[in-house]
Chain A
Amino acid sequence: MRLITHNMLKCHVRGCDDSSKNFPLEIQDAQLEQIEAEKNDAFLVRMFPRLEWNALVSTAKNLSINNLPEKIPENIEEDQALLEILHTVLLETNVKEGRMVCRGCGHIYAIKNSVPNMLLAEHEI
């Protein structure tokens, strides 16, 4: 799971509806790997407005990635340095193994072989 995908996932256990807690999921015990992705500024510039910036920054920090600006950046299409960073963080940083924990209900979602497991048991849906 690349970090861009983590930015699209939230807890969906029944009743866990507090949006300040069910997103972002907290990544724990992560085994990270750098994968190579084609450089792709146009995609990042278009995708940028859809990102949950605060969630991205806090998640990155948790993984000791500290080079993202706290404040939502402006005019990123002109900021080559930031685009490089975003490329590396969003598209090239892959969580190979680990887990994601909901800060609301404590549910644990495993990540195995780079695939997040968002399946819930019948009684959790």
Chain B
Amino acid sequence: MNTPYTSHLRQDEFKSVYDPSEDTFLLLDALENDAKYIQNLKPLTCLEIGTGSGIVTTFLAKILDTQQTIYVATDINPMATKSLLLTVKQNFDTVPIVEPILTNLVGGLSCKFDLIVFNPPYVQSESEEIGTKLFAATSGGIKGREVMDKLFPQLDTIMSDTGVFYLVAIQVNKPKEIIEVMEGYGFIGEILLSRRCGIELLYILKFIRNKQLLQ
């Protein structure tokens, strides 16, 4: 599948928005590999956390290729919410239902989502850098885990029973340990895809609810 267009990102006003990078593209590849699963799931509600340019949500909408889904996407950067709408517009004749929300992770969301995806700020950094203008897209504090670790305990309340969660991580985040942590919250996880990119080893993790296995 083609990579969605995001040409508006070259404009100065979008310079704070994360440019689709190797991590983004690995996530798109993983979603495309998992397209059959995603299509069979027939998600009604999709949620992207930290949407940035909006390329991931747009790609998801391409994979699903139906109007039977509402796509909600959050970010703490107002320009990301703006970029998302432009990216969606550029890539569809019939624009799907895409709703940006300015919020921290999933703050204020009260419904259940069938599919959740998050390419978090995962770079190891000073904790002070988290959420700052310059580093919000990248800095993840200790082990690069501080932002995603805040999300994990909240997933149970916002994911539907048959839901799925895709997460980007790198080696320093300790992907195996993330899977263990998530087990503690009732999820089972697997490494869906990994790729070396320079000195970085990137991973895409996939989680479903533990009890789904028993069905």
Contact = CB atoms under 8 A, between A and B. Distances in A.
A116 B100 CA distance: 8
A23 B110 contact: yes
A42 B69 CA distance: 10
Interface in A18-47: 23, 37-38, 40, 42-43, 46-47
Contact of A43 (B67, B72, B82, B109): B67
Contacts of B186: none
Contacts of B100: 115
Given A10-B108, A43-B68, A116 B101 contact: yes
Interface stretch (A59-67, A68-76, A77-85, A117-125): A117-125
A5 B101 contact: yes
Nearest to B76: A119
A26 B94 CA distance: 31
Interface residues of B, number: 25
A43 B44 contact: yes
Nearest to B100: A115
Interface in B39-75: 44-45, 67-70, 72
Interface in A83-119: 91, 109, 113, 115-119
Contacts of B82: 113, 115
Nearest to A47: B44
A66 B185 CA distance: 43
Contact of A50 (B101, B103, B112): B112
Nearest to A50: B111
B107 A12 contact: yes
29 contacts: A4-B70, A5-B70, A8-B72, A8-B110, A9-B101, A9-B108, A9-B109, A10-B110, A11-B108, A23-B110, A38-B67, A40-B67, A40-B68, A42-B68, A43-B67, A43-B68, A43-B69, A43-B70, A50-B112, A91-B97, A109-B108, A115-B81, A115-B82, A115-B101, A117-B103, A118-B102, A118-B103, A120-B104, A120-B107
Interface of A: 1-2, 4-5, 7-12, 23, 37-38, 40, 42-43, 46-47, 50, 91, 109, 113, 115-120, 125
